[in-house]
Structure 1
Amino acid sequence: MAPRGHSADDVARTALRILDDHGLPDLTMRRLATALEVQPSALYWHFPNKQTLLAELSDRIVSRMASGTAVDLRTEAGALREALLTYRDSAEVVSSTLALGLGSSLAHDRLTAAVAADGFDADTARRSATTVLHYVLGFVWHEQQRLHYDSVGVREESAGAALHDAGEDGVADIGAAGLASDDFAFGLELITAGLQARRRV
C-alpha cells in the first residue's frame, strides 16, 4: 500500500503547490517529501523519478485548456496560454516534458484539430499545431521569466522606462509581465495569416 496513505494525486497536488509558491528550481523531491512528511524514497512509490512527476504536473496544467470540441486556432492557443499562466514556471515544465517525449499530447491534439477543422490536410494541421505550440510555450516562458524578475525587483528600471515611453494617452500598454497586452495576439495573427496564405498557394 502507499506510504502514509498518500496517493499519487496527493503527491502531484502538493508538487503543484510548491511549484506555484516557490518555482521549478525549488521543487525538489526532498522538499516535496518534507511537505508530505515522508522520506524522499517514499515518493518513488508513485513516481519512479522526478521527470515522470513533472510529466504528471504538465498533464494537469495542460488539461485546464480542454473544454469540449476543439474550436478555432486562436481560441485554442489562447486557452493554452491561460492554462500555462495558472502556475509559476509551467511553460518550462511543459516544454521539458514534451522535449523528452513524455506526458499527454492534449495541447498538440487540440491545436491540430482546430487547424484541421478549418479545412487543412492532416499533415499541414499537425505541423501548424507544432508551430503554434512552440510559439505559445516560448511566449509564456518569456512572460513568466519577466514576472519572476519583476517580483524580485530586477526589472524596476526597465518597467519605469516602459511607462515613460507611454503613448499619447499617457498609458503604457503593458501587462503585469511587462509585455504589450496585444503582443501575443499579434504573433498568433502572423502565424494564422501565413497559414491562410499557404492555402492560396
Structure 2
Amino acid sequence: MVNRRGDVIDRALAVLDAHGLGDLTMRRLATELDVRPSALYHHFPNKQALLGAVADTLLLRGPRAGGTTRGSWDEQLAAACSSLRDALLAHRDGAELVATVRALGTGGRAPEEAVAAVLAGSGLDDEGVRVATRTLLHFVLGHTMEEQTHLQAASAGAIEDEVLQESDFHLGLALVLDGVRQRVRTGPPAPSARSGRAPRR
C-alpha cells in the first residue's frame, strides 16, 4: 500500500507533466507507483477527488503562490492573476486541470477566494465582487489554457510555432481591470439597466 497521500499527489503531478491530463488515470498512477489501483482508494475515494487534490497542490506550490498583499486593491489583483498564470504554466495542462476541478466542485477554489477577498475591499457590491471574480478567473484560465494548447501543438509539429505572447496576457488583464475600476467608480447600474428594460415613463 502507498503509505503517504503526498506521495500519490507527487507522482500524479509527474504523470501530468509527462503524459498530460487525459492520461492521468487511477490505473496509470497505480502502475507508476507499483501498486494495485485499489490501494489508491485508501487515500482518494475517486478520480475526481484525486484531481482536486492535485490541482490544490499545484496551486499551493506554484511560483509566487498567493500573489502579494501590498499595494492598492487593483495592484493586488494584477499580482494575484499573474501568480495564478505562473502556477498553471508550471505544469502541463495546469489550466485545464484547475478549470475541470472547479467545474466539478472538487478543488481549485483558492484563487477564487483570494481574488474575492481583494475585491471585497475595492468598494464593489456583493454582486459586483461575485461577477468580477468569475470574470477574472475565466480570463486567466482561458488565456492560459490556450497558451498551453498552442505550446503542445507547436512542440508536436501540428502547427507553426506561434504561441501567445506574455504581453497579450498582461494587456488583456489590464483591460479587464479597467472595467472593474470603472464599475468601482460609477457603482452598480440602475435596476432598469440591469434587466435590459427601458425605464417606465
TM-score (norm 1): 0.83
Check whether the contact 2:68–2:79 (CA below 8 A) recurs between aligned residues.
no
CA contact (8 A) 1:112 1:126 kept: yes
Separation in 2, partners of 1:67, 1:134:
18
Letter in 1 for 2:46: N
Alignment pair present for 1:60 and 2:57: yes
d(CA) in 2 for partners of 1:195, 1:83: 24
Secondary structure of the equivalent of 2:120? Answer: helix
> Is 1:76–1:114's contact at 8 Å kept on the other side of the alignment?
no
Letter paired with 1:109: E
Name the stretch that deviates more: 48-57 or 106-115.
106-115
Q: Does 1:79 align with 2:83?
A: yes
Q: Is the CA contact 2:122–2:184 (under 8 Å) kept in the aligned structure 1?
A: no
Q: Which amino acid in structure 2 is aligned with residue 32 of structure 1?
A: L
2:3 aligned to which of 3, 6, 23: 6
Counterpart for residue 170 of structure 1: none
Aligned to 1:38: 35
AA at the equivalent of 1:119 = G
The amino acid that maps onto 1:113 is A
Structure 2 residue corresponding to 1:90, chosen from 87, 90, 94: 94
1:199 partnered with 2:196? no
Q: Residue 144 of structure 2 aligns to which amino acid in structure 1?
A: V
Long gaps (5+) in structure 1? 163-177
Q: Does 1:29 align with 2:33?
A: no
RMSD: 1.7
Contact map agreement 2:85 2:140 (CA 8 A) in 1: yes
Does the 8 Å CA contact 2:27/2:37 hold for their aligned counterparts?
yes
Q: How many Å apart are 1:107 and its aligned residue? A: 0.4
How far is 1:68 from its partner?
6.4
Equivalent residue pairs, number: 179
User: Which residue matches 1:168?
Assistant: none
What code does the residue aligned with 1:198 have? R
Residue 121 of structure 1 and its aligned partner are, at CA, apart by 3.2
Match of 2:118 in 1: 114
Structure 2 unaligned runs (5+)?
187-201
1:180 deviates by: 2.3
The Cα of 1:126 is off from its aligned counterpart by: 2.6
Amino acid at match of 2:96: E
Q: Per-residue deviation at 1:62?
A: 1.7
**Structure 1 residue 181, shift from structure 2 partner:** 2.5
Distance 2:15 2:59 in 1: 18
Q: Give the Cα separation in 1 of the matches to 2:149 and 2:68.
A: 31
Q: State the identity as a percent.
A: 42
C-alpha displacement of 1:69: 4.0
Matched, 1:99 2:103: yes
Q: Could you tell me whether the CA contact under 8 Å between 2:112 and 2:133 is conserved in 1?
A: yes
Counterpart contact for 2:9–2:53, Cα < 8 Å: yes
2:193 paired residue number? none
With over 3 angstroms needed to count, the CA separation of the structure-2 counterparts of 1:182 and 1:99, relative to structure 1, is same
